[in-house]
Structures are given as structure tokens and as C-alpha cells.
Amino acid sequence: MRSLAVVTKRELSGYFTTPVAWIFLIIFVALSGILTFYAGDFFGRGQADLQSFFLFHPWLYVFLISAVSMRMWAEERRSGTIELLMTLPLSTADLVLGKFFAAWIFVGAGLVLTCPIWWTVNYLGSPDNGVILMSYLASFLIAGTFLSVGSCLSACTKSQIVAFVLTMMACILLTFLGSDALTNAFSGMATEKMLKLLNSFGFLVHYLSITRGVLDLRDIVFFTSFDAVFLFATVIVLERKKAA
């Protein structure tokens, strides 16, 4: 536990010593606001809720999370500091989890910074704050899952750009699963059962069901087990690089 805390602390401080972190936070807060008011037509809907705010989060994350996660391992590998990390008396799992938690906390900080919009909607009307809280949770969960995907792909390469593009593609695919467009594209190739299975992996479906205020334990399990799988895969990728 202690080693995990040490790694998380160092990674977290690593985010804030670079201007990239501040740029990320500013862009995240600004874009989420812009999308809510313009694309989401916050005022036009005439509803005291934040659906138009949370609707765009997965799409924002596709770009922004990929940008956060790309440096996780690729940068360590490029600068050679990975050699330092891997020869410290820490387990690979500590390193992977530490980096993941640091990134997750960092993105969480970005989410916290969007709270003015929560105040705004409370000032304008009386929204269901329980739903909003749940939506924040959903947004945080989906961010974590994207990060775990990014962690794994970043461990595969030395190049941050490659990690960025791969993560973005993977996240787009995962988000799109279960959408009509993708279901139609696959319908010719797969049986009904396989399609159903494929659709059940769609992030958007699970995400939207929480943001509508239906907090199903299964949705939480879905996201966290996805995290576990990809973080475990990260450990395996790193361990394999030792031998190959």
C-alpha cells in the first residue's frame, strides 16, 4: 500500500510540474462548458438538469484522456526512466496502479472544476441533485476505463503519438459499441447472439443509463472490471518486455 502511495504521489506531482496539465484542465473545463451551451442547447431545452453537459463527456474523453494517458509509459520508455522505475523495489502492479490512480485523480480534479455549472443549474432551477451526482460518478467511471485502456496501449510503445492515436481509436470503438451505426455495420457478419454480446460492451449504453439516474450495480461492475482487465494487461505487457 505504501509503495502504491509513493508512486501515485510522484505521478500526480509529475502532472502538475508540466504546463500540459494546466492546459488539459483549462481545455476540459472550457470545452465541456461550450459543448453544453452550444451543442447541447442548455437554455433551449428549458430543463433544470445537466443531461446536455454529461452527454458530451465520453466524446471529450476520447481526445483528452488519450492525451493524458499517452505519456504514462511511452514517455518513461523514451527517456529511459522506465529502467529506473523497474529497478526500484516496487512491484509492477504498484507501478501500474500508481500511475493509473494518479491519472484518474488528475482527471477527477478536472471534473471537480466543472462544478460551477452545477451551481448554475441550481441557481436557475431545482434539478435532481442525486441524478447529477450519479452522472458525475458515471463520468468519472468512464474516464477511468478510458485511462486503463490508454495505460495498456501506452505500455506497448515508445512513441506518445502512437499511444495517443491507438488509445483514441480504441476508445471511439468502445464508445460506439452498441450504437445503431455500428450494430448495422456488424449485422451482416454476426449472429443475433453475438451482436447482443457486442452491444453489451458498449460504453455509451452503460454510461447513459447511469446519467439518467438509474444506478445499477451492474454498470459499476462493468466499468471497474474493464479497468481491472486493462490494468492487468498493462502489467503483462510490461513483464513481457523484460523477457523479449
Partner 1 sequence: MIALENVTRKFGSFTAVDDLSMSVPKGQVLGFLGPNGAGKTTTMRMISGYLSPTSGKITVCGFDVLENPVEVKKRIGYMPEGAPSYADMTPLGFLDFIAEARGLDGSAKERALDRVIGEISLSSVLYQPIDTLSKGYKRRVGLAQALIHDPDVLILDEPTEGLDPNQKREIRSLIHRIKESKAIVISTHVLEEVEALCSRVVIIDKGKIVLDDTPTALLAMSSAHQTVYVAVPDFQRDRVSALFEEMQQVSVIEDHPDSKGTHLYALKPETAESVVADLVEALRLQNVKICDLYVEKGRLEEVFYAFTSSEKDVSKGEK
Residues found near partner 1 in the complex (CB under 8 A) = 2-3, 6-7, 9-10, 13-14, 17-18, 79-81, 83-84, 86-91, 242-244
Kindly give the residue spans of alpha helices, DSSP state H, lying in 87-244. 92-112, 115-124, 129-155, 160-176, 180-187, 192-200, 203-211, 217-243
Residue 87 or residue 191: which is nearer to partner 1 going by CB? Answer: 87
Residue 8 or residue 32: which is nearer to partner 1 going by CB? Answer: 8
Closest distance to partner 1 from the beta carbon of 1 (Å):
13
Closest distance to partner 1 from the beta carbon of 105 (Å):
17
Residue 20 or residue 190: which is nearer to partner 1 going by CB? Answer: 20
Residue 4 or residue 31: which is nearer to partner 1 going by CB? Answer: 4
Q: What CA–CA distance (Å, rounded) separates 118 from 112?
A: 10
The residues, ordered by sequence, that sit 6+ positions from 89 with a Cβ below 8 Å of its Cβ are none
Closest distance to partner 1 from the beta carbon of 241 (Å):
9
Residue 10 or residue 45: which is nearer to partner 1 going by CB? Answer: 10
Closest distance to partner 1 from the beta carbon of 7 (Å):
7
Beta-strand runs (E) in 149-191: none
Q: What CA–CA distance (Å, rounded) separates 35 from 117?
A: 12
DSSP type of residue 48: S
Distances in whole angstroms, Cα of residue 124 to Cα of each of 44, 91, 119: 13, 50, 9
Closest distance to partner 1 from the beta carbon of 124 (Å):
42
Beta-strand runs (E) in 92-231: none
